[in-house]
């Protein structure tokens, strides 16, 4: 495989790749020729089967990003050139009741682990003089406030900021750093919303595209941002939301 969108010869690590958006990203990268490591606290056997059945290359890596430094030793001498930080958690509670434990858990996984995983990846590439790409998964709540998710909103605003900072520092090394802000995507995490007729109607009425997004919508965007076609894109937070933020 060759061309602007080819990832042939690249090795990618995708966090939280066992289901949903992370799974779609791993499959999309593999479809363009990347060898994909599916990293997370649960096995990604279903994702790996989908990739290998299609003729791609993938392996599992059990790692819990509740420990922000969990990936510290993953990249040394491993040949990774692509990193997608998708793993994340959410804790819902009114701001007046949001506990310190919930705050710390969300910030550790969604923000601190993202930074230190990027740091370990970038340090390896810079030391070896290799180019690469990072894609962080942000959120509509990187731009909006949301309700009853203070830790999550803070973490996703932070992801957008870290993305821009790293893009500034690492552009001279040939490392692009971008983020995707998914809109309302049909995954397990949004099942309750989709099953609520009134809430689903309200959401769909605001989306100009008139539909919920599919995980594949995010997968294709991530593959593009990892590809040679996006070599001059860095520091961007790309909304993939069917037009939600434009309304």
What are the start-end ranges of the E strands in 16-159?
A: 35-40, 57-62, 82-85, 132-137
The catalytic residue positions are 152
Summary count for the chain: helices (H), strands (E): 8, 7
Q: By the 8 A CB rule, do 180 and 134 touch?
A: no
Q: Classify burial at 195, counting beta carbons within 10 Å of its beta carbon; exposed 0-12, middle 13-18, buried 19 or more.
A: exposed
- Angle, helices 20-31 vs 215-226, to 10°: value is 50
Q: Which residue has the tokens 């066992």?
A: 18
**SS3 string of 51-108?**
HHHCCCEEEEEECCCCCCCCCCCCCCCCCCCEEEECCCCCCCCCCCCCCHHHHHHHHH
Q: Which residue has the tokens 């001279």?
A: 172
């Amino acid at each position: 495989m060759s061309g602007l969108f080819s990832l042939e010869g690249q090795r990618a690590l995708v966090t939280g790749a066992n289901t949903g958006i992370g799974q779609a990203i791993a499959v999309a990268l593999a479809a363009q020729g990347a060898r994909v490591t599916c990293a997370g606290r649960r096995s990604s056997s279903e994702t790996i089967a989908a990739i290998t059945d299609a003729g791609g290359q993938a392996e599992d890596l059990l790692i819990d990003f509740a420990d922000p430094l969990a990936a510290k030793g993953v990249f040394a001498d491993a040949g990774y050139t692509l990193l997608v930080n998708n793993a994340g958690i959410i804790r819902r509670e009114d701001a007046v009741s949001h506990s310190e434990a919930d705050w710390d858990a969300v910030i550790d996984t969604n923000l601190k682990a993202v930074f230190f995983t990027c740091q370990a990846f970038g340090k390896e590439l810079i030391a070896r003089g290799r180019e690469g790409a990072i894609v962080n998964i942000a959120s509509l709540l990187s731009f909006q406030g949301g309700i009853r998710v203070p830790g999550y909103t803070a973490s996703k605003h932070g992801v957008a900021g870290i993305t821009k900072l790293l893009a500034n520092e690492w552009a001279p090394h040939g490392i692009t750093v971008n983020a995707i802000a998914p809109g309302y995507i049909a995954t397990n995490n949004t099942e309750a919303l989709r099953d609520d007729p009134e809430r689903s109607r309200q959401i769909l009425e605001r989306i100009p595209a008139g539909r919920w997004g599919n995980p594949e919508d995010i997968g294709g965007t991530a593959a593009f941002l990892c590809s040679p076609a996006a070599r001059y894109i860095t520091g961007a937070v790309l909304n993939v939301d069917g037009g939600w933020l434009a309304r």
